[in-house]
Structure 1
Amino acid sequence: MQPTPTADLTALLAGDAVAATDRALLTYYDDATGERTELSASALGGWAARTAGLLRQGCQLGIGDRAAVLLPPHWQTAAVLLGAWSIGVAVSFRSFAVGGLKPVGPGNEEPLEAVFVTPRRLDSWLEVVPAARHRFVLGLAPNGALMDEVPTGYRDYLAEVSSYPDNIVEPGPIQRTDVASPDGTTFREWGAVAHEIAAMLDLRMGDRLLVDVAEHEEPLKWLLAPLAAGASVVLCANLDHSGLDARIAAEGITRVL
């Protein structure tokens, strides 16, 4: 089967690989706070659509523009990535094994258009973040709470994105050969890699994959590979290993990463 390009958000979330839009597609736990957030395919698609609206209508971005997503595994991270890719924005993120994100400077004069970062990661990316025209910060607080204090020069992603509709944005003339990351990797190539990783993990339609986010930050593993296989994901931050067996049973886990 030809890999589905991540540019086609509708196909990725509502196609054959994810047959039922009302089933749990991504469940996020944080054992430090007690948070449990569950999103169906349609709910995640709605958040991705809002992100696409924020970038396309609010920031005037589209095919070929560059964004950095400097976020840990989280349901909001999934929304940002899928929303950006759905309108053809080329995305870099910290755990990309191919290429990588370089600060603007001699030999790398092409600026970022947008950046998404958490307050904790601002200091680590000071060379990169100020170069972006549109800067969004994500507090990743339980239950999607807004930030009490937003760093100067940034906008609260949740406050901004909530004003956009949650209907799927038409992807437009995005091609499989369009660039999906600033290192030149195309949507077709990332799609192929996602399918290869899904096969390597032996993920199959209907599987439910538990991921310890402290061990696996790569979105190819915790997001794209499961979607390509038609699997759902349970992301666990600050995982309490003493309760792992109970969670596996409660969530119907079939694979652990």
Structure 2
Amino acid sequence: MGELFTYYDDATGERTGLTAAELGGWSAATAALLTEGCGLEKGSRVAVLLPPHWQAAAVLLGAWSAGVEVSYRGWATAGLSPAGEALDATFVERRRIGNWLDEVPAGRHQFVLGLAPAGAPTPDVPEDYRDYPAEVRPYLGAAPPASPVGAEDLAVSDATFGEYEAVAGGVAEMYGIGPGDRVLLDAAGSEQPLMWLVAPLSVGASVVLCANLDRTRLDERVAAEGVTRVLGAP
């Protein structure tokens, strides 16, 4: 079975490839963590402060399938949560916590991600946070939600996932992405999951997401990965 989602970080040399079943497993585990582990229900509010990454994909897909409302910010936090508004859970990249430039919102359940290769545990977990890789692993192998909510019920910020997916289909068409395509994206130019996750997957394409892209290796990677479309990388 081919990989549905492939992640590169050229600064560290990481390459992580996930089949549809593997990405689905991480997503189902995240949904179980939220519903069984945290007791969240449809309409609960979750904030995701993660850069484009395969673990961010698992968190987003899992949260949507759990029926919670998702607010996403890859690099900026402004406007993520109105003042005084309670969040039920947050997923935050480790390097953002304690950074005076970032105002990280609080949640009843707070998860930190070091975004280490192979989903390794996060070192130096801050106080009042739980390590997402460690917390989600007991749920790996969990079945998807028994009664998945419809797309019209899933909220992404102020739009339903159904509306988000409809927009994604239009974006995919605009960039000529179709079923069976393998799409390489530069993470630096594709912050929103509409581009690096939902648009390709919504039309049956697979993703090669590259962080810290070394453009001198682009042609080599396109050939090695069987890429048919390149976005955000000249």
Please, what TM-score do these two structures have when normalized by structure 2? 0.91
Aligned-pair RMSD on alpha carbons?
1.8
Gaps (5+ residues) in structure 2? none
Matched, 1:241 2:224: no
Greater relative contact order (CA < 8 Å, ≥ 6 in sequence): 1
Q: For residues 173 and 82 of structure 1, do their structure 2 counterparts lie closer, same or farther at Cα, with a shift above 3 Å needed? A: closer
In the alignment, the residues of structure 2 paired with residue 95 and residue 237 of structure 1 have an alpha-carbon distance, to the nearest angstrom, of 13
Q: Secondary structure at the match of 2:139?
A: coil
Match of 1:152 in 2: 127
Q: Check whether the contact 2:10–2:213 (CA below 8 A) recurs between aligned residues.
A: yes
* Structure 1 residue ranges without an equivalent (≥5): 1-21
In the TM superposition, 1:1-257 aligns within 5 A as 22-94=1-73, 100-105=79-84, 110-122=85-97, 123=99, 124-126=101-103, 128-130=104-106, 132-170=107-145, 172=147, 174-183=149-158, 185-257=159-231
Runs of 4+ with deviation above 6 angstroms: none
Q: How far apart in 2 are the matches of 1:186 and 1:135?
A: 24
Deviation at 1:165, TM superposition (A): 3.5
Q: Secondary structure at the match of 1:210?
A: strand
Matched position secondary structure for 2:155: coil
Distance 1:244 1:26 in 2: 17
**Cα drift, residue 125 of structure 1:** 4.4
* Distance (whole Å) between structure 2 residues aligned to residue 113 and residue 163 of structure 1: 21
CA distance in 1, matches of 2:21, 2:51: 22
Q: 1:104 Cα shift? A: 2.8
Change (3 A) 1:201 1:72: same
8 Å Cα contact 1:92/1:100 also seen in 2: no
**Paired residues, number:** 227
Q: Could you tell me the TM-score, scaled by structure 1's length?
A: 0.84
